Chains A and B, each alone.
Chain A
Amino acid sequence: MNYKLFFGTVVCVALMSCGGKTETTGASNESGNTTTTTSHNPNEYDPKRGLGKFTEENVIVDAALNKEMATRGEVSANTKCISCHKLTDERLVGPGWKDVTKRHAAHWILNFITNPDPMIDKDPQLQAQLEICLVRMPNQNLTDDEARDIYEFMRKNDGIN
């Protein structure tokens, strides 16, 4: 993955989205949570895709469950997610996970859990959710692989075998 290129894109996006306001882009770039997008029109937020490095093309999900990934994902989720999310549809701090993979595309979920802050700022659904939960989902510094494993665990939770 060409990180430099991504970084460049981020800066462009940040600059374009400034709209006269002074944004402290330095801080978010330096925290290592690089935001990026390859959307054709970077000015527009695509609520189906979210904001981040994942796209419909680069996230490959098989029809069948990858059990190994799901098992790893469960371990990661227990440390980094389950304090706030239940596996049922009941809200704890954040919404319950049941059927989350049916409500959102894989790449949207991966973008959100690896890049929460910029998406909470832009995504209408997340902003509505924030009004209910009042706690911004923390950035848990998930690696790409960890995020993908957790997604597989979410699929398992949604009944994929």
Chain B
Amino acid sequence: MKTMKNLMILLAAVSLIAVSCRPKGSKQAISGDAASKAYVAPGEYDQFYNFVSGGFSGQMSVYGLPSGRLFRVIPVFSVDPEKGWGYSEETKPMLMTSHGFVPWDDLHHVEMSQTNGEQNGKWAFGNANNTPRVARIDLKTFRTAEIIELPNSAGNHSSPFGTENTEYVVAGTRFSVPGDNQNGDVPISTYKENFKGHISFISVNQETGAMDLAFQIRTPGVNFDLARCGRAKSHGWMFFSCYNSEMANTLLEVNASKNDKDFIMAVNWKKAEEYLKAGQAEKVAVKYAHNVWDEATHTGIHTIKNEVLVLDAAKLKDICYFIPCPKSPHGCDVDPTGEYIVGSGKLAALLPVFSFDKIIKAIENKEFETEFGGIPVIKYEAALYGEVEKPGLGPLHTEFDANGYAYTSMFVSSEVVKWNVKDLKVVDRVPTYYSVGHLCVPGGNTRKPFGKYVIAYNKITKDRYLPTGPELTQSAQLYDISGEKMQLILDFPTIGEPHYAQASPTDLIKNNGQLKIYKIEDNKHPYVTKSEADCKVVREGNKVHVYMITIRSHITPDNIEGIKVGDEVYFHITNLEQDWDIPHGFAVKGANTAELLIMPGETVTLKWNPDRVGIFPMYCTDFCSALHQEMQGYVRVSPAGSNVPLYYHTGETVTP
């Protein structure tokens, strides 16, 4: 009896501990009306599209706000067998680089295109952090339309932040490395001598979105982290956060955290344009890929380019200026007026806010404390507007609302801190669960923030969701910021690791001329088939081209004979449907590739190398009608050298 009692006490104690283990405040943070604020009734639309980086998935995901519902994962830098991205013959060129075909990358940041400092709903840009690239996603099709590789770069982290009219998106190298045309076979310990930074300015055609690597600026060998454009009065400037001003090449955790201050680098890109015009740029031989999606032929076109224009910041003294910024700054964010630049030193205990007017005055009066790698360093006080004292631990990134408030994420203390940009006073703070990275306020990087919500993208989810083994879902948290106090209203899981994200009002995207079908009349694919009568199978040596169509619910031709082991078979499939939301899929047994998903009016090609004799079924993989299960066919594969004639048919059983 006594042991029983003891056991009871022990159990009670254990359960008490279990309860108290839960992080403080995680339940209290939710108030009664949270659910109704995040609720979007079935059939209703969300208020915002949220374009979220897919991190190490390499993709970009699209959520609705405030519901947190996932609408689409847009394949960008990684292959996606579900959609055939990187598997169909047409999409393979999009993932080509100077290193050949690269099936994966790490997409960190999202940037929406702008006009006059406001979102225009045309394109979203994403960066590849590993093999340095920038992608442009067309928001009429939600497809990757263009990918450009960046020479002289390694780890394109400080990217793809854009200017006020998307004149440029930038790409600052995270790793400084020897330039591509230098001898890179050098001891790593010669970092200070041989390693250089490069930041790329990619011009964007305002009408078509076409990207071009306009120029690069060569800088001292620091690490570039994030960037933000100047806006309104500071239009024409770009601000980059830099760390590793120690120029360490090993154990950066310690060795790149020694200096009290690293830098924000202010770049006068209008001035850089002048130098470019005046012929001051070096032509540097490099090799980089430029891949463009052609809408008319439904095909990616891969080109290798061989030259880039480079401006040297140390030689051309008035393009770049360093501003000291405490302790390894990550965020480097400009408020809607363009006057205030917030540095978020992730190891600092304060947030410096710099004044654009003061920076300009300091440059005019040459208030420099020293030079770093040939670049003037402005005196800290000469550029400083003020400091937010004790905002929290590990400030990372800041976004803005339209009412003069800034929201800064605190990685170490896991919170969002709201503060007044003018008087630099903290007015509110809320916990995040846990270790928040970037924040997003819809339009929070523009002249006209839409406000309403702030979303925290977290690095750790721990106990927030049902356990799923060692690997847990990634996560975001949605806060209502329409009142004085921030209010947590929703947790939602995300794919990959969500770094930065941006959000657009529903109407801006929904009414941008969304494409519903590809018009079959406009299809210029070299292997398009526009009618049943044109379906055919053509042999060219060991290459066999199958001109195939799909429509509810049959494949034509669906009986194919005369294929031989060793052949290279190309199924060029045109979806003849002209109705929204009626894709067909295609797969053939044993093919060493993924399925195809073919949108209405589109032509897509699957390559198949039949490896053995037999009958190989093929079928439609995307449910299309009540007779979807009947949408199938057969390929007969005969031995190499067999004399079975080429034969194809649909609809009548004929013995060949």
Tell me, rounded to whole Å, the shortest Cβ–Cβ distance linking B288 to chain A.
Answer: 40
Q: Given the interface contacts A93-B554, A135-B552, A141-B517, does A78 sit within 8 Å of B532 by beta carbon?
A: yes
Tell me, rounded to whole Å, the shortest Cβ–Cβ distance linking A23 to chain B.
Answer: 10
Partner-binding segment picked from A6-14, A80-88, A103-111: A80-88
Contact present for A138 and B551 (CB under 8 Å): yes
Residue in A79, A135, A140 whose CB lies within 8 Å of B627: A135
The residues of A that contact B579 with a CB separation of less than 8 Å are 138-141
A160 interface residue per 8 A CB criterion: no
Tell me, rounded to whole Å, the shortest Cβ–Cβ distance linking A58 to chain B.
Answer: 24
Tell me, rounded to whole Å, the shortest Cβ–Cβ distance linking A25 to chain B.
Answer: 11
A selection of 6 A-B contacts at a CB cut-off of 8 Å is: A82-B531, A83-B576, A93-B553, A138-B578, A139-B578, A140-B577
Question: Which B-chain residue is minimally distant from A82 (CB atoms)?
Answer: B532
The residues of A that contact B533 with a CB separation of less than 8 Å are 78, 82
Give how many A residues have a beta carbon under 8 Å from the other chain's beta carbons: 20
Question: Which B-chain residue is minimally distant from A142 (CB atoms)?
Answer: B578
Question: Which residues of B come within 8 Å of A, CB atoms?
Answer: 43, 516-517, 519-520, 530-533, 549, 551-554, 556, 576-580, 582, 625-627, 651
| A-B complex: 5 closest residue pairs judged by Cβ atoms | A78-B531, A141-B578, A140-B578, A139-B579, A83-B551
Residue in B519, B532, B627 whose CB lies within 8 Å of A83: B532
Question: Which A-chain residue is minimally distant from B549 (CB atoms)?
Answer: A83
The residues of B that contact A134 with a CB separation of less than 8 Å are 625-627
Most chain-B Cβ atoms within 10 A of its Cβ — which of A31, A84, A141?
A141
18 extra interchain contacts, Cβ-Cβ under 8 A, other than A22-B43, A78-B533? A24-B43, A31-B580, A32-B516, A78-B531, A78-B532, A80-B520, A80-B578, A83-B551, A83-B576, A84-B552, A134-B625, A134-B626, A134-B627, A135-B627, A136-B625, A138-B577, A141-B517, A141-B578
| Cα-based distance from A78 to B551 in the complex (angstroms) | 13
The residues of B that contact A24 with a CB separation of less than 8 Å are 43
| Cα-based distance from A31 to B580 in the complex (angstroms) | 8
A15 interface residue per 8 A CB criterion: no
The residues of A that contact B551 with a CB separation of less than 8 Å are 83-84, 138
The residues of B that contact A82 with a CB separation of less than 8 Å are 531-533
Contact present for B549 and A92 (CB under 8 Å): no
Tell me, rounded to whole Å, the shortest Cβ–Cβ distance linking B259 to chain A.
Answer: 57
| Cα-based distance from A100 to B625 in the complex (angstroms) | 24
Q: Given the interface contacts A78-B531, A134-B626, does A92 sit within 8 Å of B651 by beta carbon?
A: yes
Tell me, rounded to whole Å, the shortest Cβ–Cβ distance linking B429 to chain A.
Answer: 41
Tell me, rounded to whole Å, the shortest Cβ–Cβ distance linking A15 to chain B.
Answer: 16
- A109-153 residues with Cβ-Cβ distance < 8 A to B are 134-136, 138-142
Most chain-A Cβ atoms within 10 A of its Cβ — which of B530, B553, B578?
B578
| Cα-based distance from A93 to B558 in the complex (angstroms) | 15
The residues of A that contact B626 with a CB separation of less than 8 Å are 134-135
Tell me, rounded to whole Å, the shortest Cβ–Cβ distance linking A67 to chain B.
Answer: 20
Question: Which B-chain residue is minimally distant from A78 (CB atoms)?
Answer: B531
The residues of B that contact A79 with a CB separation of less than 8 Å are 520, 530-531, 576
Contact present for A138 and B552 (CB under 8 Å): yes
Tell me, rounded to whole Å, the shortest Cβ–Cβ distance linking B286 to chain A.
Answer: 46
The residues of B that contact A136 with a CB separation of less than 8 Å are 625
Residue in A31, A83, A92 whose CB lies within 8 Å of B516: A31
Question: Which A-chain residue is minimally distant from B626 (CB atoms)?
Answer: A134
| Cα-based distance from A139 to B576 in the complex (angstroms) | 11
| Cα-based distance from A84 to B651 in the complex (angstroms) | 11
Give 1 or 0 for each of A30-70: 1 = CB within 8 Å of chain B CB: 01100000000000000000000000000000000000000
Question: Which A-chain residue is minimally distant from B516 (CB atoms)?
Answer: A31
Contact present for A135 and B625 (CB under 8 Å): yes
Contact present for A78 and B556 (CB under 8 Å): no
| Cα-based distance from A25 to B531 in the complex (angstroms) | 33
| Cα-based distance from A92 to B651 in the complex (angstroms) | 8
Tell me, rounded to whole Å, the shortest Cβ–Cβ distance linking B64 to chain A.
Answer: 16
Contact present for B578 and A83 (CB under 8 Å): no
Question: Which B-chain residue is minimally distant from A31 (CB atoms)?
Answer: B580
The residues of A that contact B43 with a CB separation of less than 8 Å are 22, 24
| Cα-based distance from A42 to B519 in the complex (angstroms) | 33
| Cα-based distance from A134 to B520 in the complex (angstroms) | 25
Tell me, rounded to whole Å, the shortest Cβ–Cβ distance linking B633 to chain A.
Answer: 14
| Cα-based distance from A12 to B517 in the complex (angstroms) | 28
| Cα-based distance from A24 to B45 in the complex (angstroms) | 12
Most chain-A Cβ atoms within 10 A of its Cβ — which of B533, B551, B577, B626?
B551
Q: Given the interface contacts A78-B530, A80-B578, A136-B625, does A93 sit within 8 Å of B552 by beta carbon?
A: yes
The residues of A that contact B532 with a CB separation of less than 8 Å are 78, 82-83
Tell me, rounded to whole Å, the shortest Cβ–Cβ distance linking A16 to chain B.
Answer: 20
| Cα-based distance from A129 to B390 in the complex (angstroms) | 74
| Cα-based distance from A52 to B231 in the complex (angstroms) | 51
Contact present for A138 and B627 (CB under 8 Å): no
The residues of A that contact B549 with a CB separation of less than 8 Å are 83
| Cα-based distance from A138 to B578 in the complex (angstroms) | 8
| Cα-based distance from A31 to B578 in the complex (angstroms) | 12
Most chain-A Cβ atoms within 10 A of its Cβ — which of B43, B516, B579, B627?
B579
The residues of B that contact A31 with a CB separation of less than 8 Å are 516, 580
The residues of B that contact A141 with a CB separation of less than 8 Å are 517, 519, 578-579
